[in-house]
Structure 1
Amino acid sequence: MTEKMSPDSSAVLQEFLLHLQLGGRSDNTLETYERVLQRFFSEIPFPVAEVTSDHVLSWLASYRSSRKDTTISTWFNVLTSFFHFCEDEGHVPHTPIKKRWRPRLPQPLPRYLDKTEQAQTKLQVETESLRNQALYAFFVSSGCRVSEVCAINKTDIDLAERTVQVQGKGQKIRPVHFSERCAILLASYIPTLPDHEDALFVNQHGRRLTRVGVHQIISHMGSDAGLSASLGPHRLRHTFATTLLAKGADLSFISEELGHSSLDTTRIYARLPKEEIVTMYRKYMG
């Protein structure tokens, strides 16, 4: 795709990606930004300084019928960030992006496992390998992001205190906690790990599990458990948060446990209907 880009655009793109990397942005973010910008400048093959508002608007509009609103919103955010950088660095006199183009998206409620779905999944997980049991227990009792889990090393784990140091968004290090059951599973699982690999969770070849690998494992658990909707790591993260909320935890504590940089991000859980919160509490607490 990059062969269609103008040399100027390619050079500015690499400069922008380096700027993001030095700013501590995650590999996932870098991959997303690079993919979107390569697509844009391959289909709008002009030097950065010659890109107009019409170019950007028509490019976004050309995908509205074939892409979800969330995808268009992500692309809009990538282009906005890129052209603000270009303006700051003097590559363009002003950004061609207009704020009013941003898609107005409904704020979806978090999707979590209810008590019945948790019971179904638990029965399935108990038939899985020791690694998969430990992986599931860690997700539902820590609320970690999949990228955080993949990056954990054996030496990061403190079984006695049931804590682990994880690197979250913006390369921020924070302690997270996990359940006693998870600690018991990890205590049995860790001695089985190969000495040559630092990672806590490894694949069948003894190498660090990737995000794709973790998604596949969790997805298969959900399918084998007979869940009606797909299961992924982020749904387990929502399950962790909503369980805490049902038990009466305040949003500031949940925010800290999830590693949110702003309490506003956590407020999505406050949007769950009060009747649903009461029902959740009775399910979890009796």
Structure 2
Amino acid sequence: MLIDEALSLFVGHQYSQNRSEHTVIAYQTDLNQFFRFAASELNQEPEFLQVQEIDLYIVRSFLGTLSEHGLARKSMARKLAALRSFFKFLCHKEIISENPVQRVASPKLGRKLPHFLYLDQVWGLLNAPDESDLLGCRDKVILELLYGSGLRVSELVSLNRDNIDIDSGILRVMGKGQKERVVPMTHYAIQAIKTYLTRRGDQSPVLLLNYQGTRLSERSVRRILDKLVAKISLEQHVHPHMLRHSFATHLLDGGADLRSVQELLGHKKLSSTQVYTHLTRERLKEVFSQAHPRAKARNIKKKR
């Protein structure tokens, strides 16, 4: 089977599995890069490449070339994940009999801790919008939902009015893989939404609108956040997902259990949530200092 035909089948399958548009496009980009490399290795044009011609050695050579060009391990792992999914699909459909990626080891990745904001930084940011005008009221809603409910920016901009139950204080959010979850809202978020919608006074079903009256985009949210960060003179770069990181970190630091935070974030795997436990060390040290006899004895001596 020709590569183009196999890729078309694979893309259709990804959409049928409710993969996001971003994921499918990323897979296509990585796979097309690999196909061009494989065709070059086999001295033929990419459009004439057959999936049956690709073997383990071409895959390893591809990864080796990426490494020689200094590609980060995380990016290599992403490209390898695309290849795994593609050839696993072809094996399942019995288009190929052997998976050329099966014996390829994934590059070892160091765990990168998420960046977050401290409480005083969050408070400063939440108070940054000018609520005397409509757009400032909207920006207040953006911040209160990103931080107060831990939403992804994609989830935020896709919200409609009927996703919000003001009386019960909950949101129905469509997360990754078109999986819906229910998330509570803070009192501050509820008040911000009420104020914003009252000031708007229209009947649009969309929650967050731009100045033209159409749905706010993810890029616009990032620009709004950049302006608010500059307004309060925060030195570090703040992106929308950092508010989600802060949401999870502050919950765990405040004593929330890991499973509850996992459910609030909509994580499929608990390991995805465990990266946020780094700040709880300080809380554990405080508990230890207050509860352990030897630690308490040291504290008594300090008081004397």
TM-score where L is the length of structure 1? 0.86
Deviates more, 1:149-158 or 1:63-72: 63-72
Q: Which residue matches 1:106?
A: 110
Deviates more, 1:64-73 or 1:17-26: 64-73
Q: Displacement of 1:98 after TM fit?
A: 4.4
The equivalent position to 1:28 in structure 2, one of 14, 22, 25, is 22
1:232 and 1:124 mapped to 2: Cα distance? 15
Q: Show CA shifts across 1:34-67 (max 9, x none).
A: 2222222234323222112222222223233343
Q: Show CA shifts across 1:103-124 (max 9, x none).
A: 1111112211012322432343
Deviates more, 1:205-214 or 1:160-169: 205-214
**Structure-to-structure mapping, 1:63-102, within 5 angstroms:** 63-64=66-67, 65-102=69-106
1:189 and 1:106 mapped to 2: Cα distance? 43
Structure 1 vs Structure 2: percent identity of aligned residues?
28
Q: Displacement of 1:273 after TM fit?
A: 5.9
Q: Which residue matches 1:284?
A: none
Matched, 1:263 2:270: yes
Given that 1:123 and 1:225 are in contact with CA atoms closer than 8 Å, whether structure 2 keeps it comes out as no
Q: Displacement of 1:84 after TM fit?
A: 0.7
Residues 120, 11 of structure 1: alpha-carbon distance in 2 compared, 3 angstrom cutoff: same
Aligned length: 272
The equivalent position to 2:236 in structure 1, one of 221, 229, 232, is 229
Which structure has the bigger radius of gyration? 2
Gaps of 5+ in 2: 39-45, 287-304
Q: Displacement of 1:171 after TM fit?
A: 1.1
Residues 87, 160 of structure 1: alpha-carbon distance in 2 compared, 3 angstrom cutoff: same
**Structure-to-structure mapping, 1:113-262, within 5 angstroms:** 113-126=117-130, 129-191=136-198, 192=200, 194-195=202-203, 197-262=204-269
Given that 2:117 and 2:242 are in contact with CA atoms closer than 8 Å, whether structure 1 keeps it comes out as yes
Residues 35, 219 of structure 1: alpha-carbon distance in 2 compared, 3 angstrom cutoff: farther
Gaps of 5+ in 1: 1-6, 280-286
The equivalent position to 2:62 in structure 1, one of 55, 59, 63, is 59
For residue 10 of structure 1, what is the amino acid of its counterpart?
D
**Secondary structure in structure 2 of the residue aligned to 1:129:** helix
Q: Displacement of 1:274 after TM fit?
A: 1.2
For residue 137 of structure 1, what is the amino acid of its counterpart?
E
**Secondary structure in structure 2 of the residue aligned to 1:121:** helix
1:220 and 1:266 mapped to 2: Cα distance? 29
Given that 1:120 and 1:226 are in contact with CA atoms closer than 8 Å, whether structure 2 keeps it comes out as no
TM-score where L is the length of structure 2? 0.82
Q: Displacement of 1:100 after TM fit?
A: 4.5
Q: Show CA shifts across 1:245-265 (max 9, x none).
A: 121110011111111122222
For residue 58 of structure 2, what is the amino acid of its counterpart?
H
**Secondary structure in structure 2 of the residue aligned to 1:34:** helix
For residue 69 of structure 1, what is the amino acid of its counterpart?
R
Deviates more, 1:139-148 or 1:123-132: 123-132
Q: Displacement of 1:184 after TM fit?
A: 0.8
The equivalent position to 2:9 in structure 1, one of 15, 25, 30, is 15
Residues 248, 16 of structure 1: alpha-carbon distance in 2 compared, 3 angstrom cutoff: same
